[in-house]
Structure 1
Amino acid sequence: MRILLSVLALMFTLGLTACDMNEGPAEEAGENIDNAMTDAGNAVEDLCEDAKEGMNAEDEDC
């Protein structure tokens, strides 16, 4: 019983440690990459819509 309680306490402590909300440099770099890819995708979509608008296309969505 004592061992079981010790194991449960250890698992609980490790679980709380894993929920650390501090972002490290890798997390921030990943977010920056995600934002850059989203911005690039939006820019391409805007260019496509502008090109279709210039050609008087019926469907201007890309």
Structure 2
Amino acid sequence: MGDPNVEKGNTTMRKIALFAAAAGAALSLAACSESTQDAAGDTVDSAAADTEANMDAMGQAVEESANDVEVAADNAAAEADQEAAEVEADVQDESVTEAQAD
């Protein structure tokens, strides 16, 4: 049989080599994981920026629509006032200008 000290040394070297391989694999996985986390963080940041830009665009569109509605309501009110003055002028036998003054 072989020398027990040599066999013990081989076993110790195997353990060291195994530990080194396991440590290398762990570091590789950790680096990969960090890279994946960075990419995921970048994706989240990009999505947040896109969402903010879309919300700004929506806010502008809503504001423009509100302004359009206000203008349309003002026009409808003016037309209603004009028609009411015309009806009053016909009923009271006066001019539209006189009816609007009343």
Sort the TM-score into its range (normalised by shorter chain). 0.5 to 0.7
Q: How many residues align?
A: 39
Q: Give 1:56 shift.
A: 1.4
Provide the C-alpha distance between the structure 2 equivalents of 1:51 and 1:33, rounded to a whole number of angstroms.
27
Q: Percent identity?
A: 15
Describe how 1:1-62 pairs up with structure 2 within 5 A: 24-57=61-94, 59-60=95-96
CA RMSD of aligned residues (A): 1.6
The one-letter code of the counterpart of 2:69 is N
Flag as ranges the 4+ runs of structure 1 deviating above 4 A. Answer: none
- TM-score, normalising length: structure 1: 0.54
- Of structures 1 and 2, the one scoring higher in RCO (CA 8 A, sep 6+) is 1
TM-score (norm 2): 0.34
Q: Which has the larger radius of gyration?
A: 2
Q: Greater share of helix residues, 1 or 2? A: 2
Query: Which amino acid in the other structure matches residue 33 of structure 1?
Result: E
Structure 2: which 5+ residue stretches go unaligned? 1-59
Aligned to 1:13: none
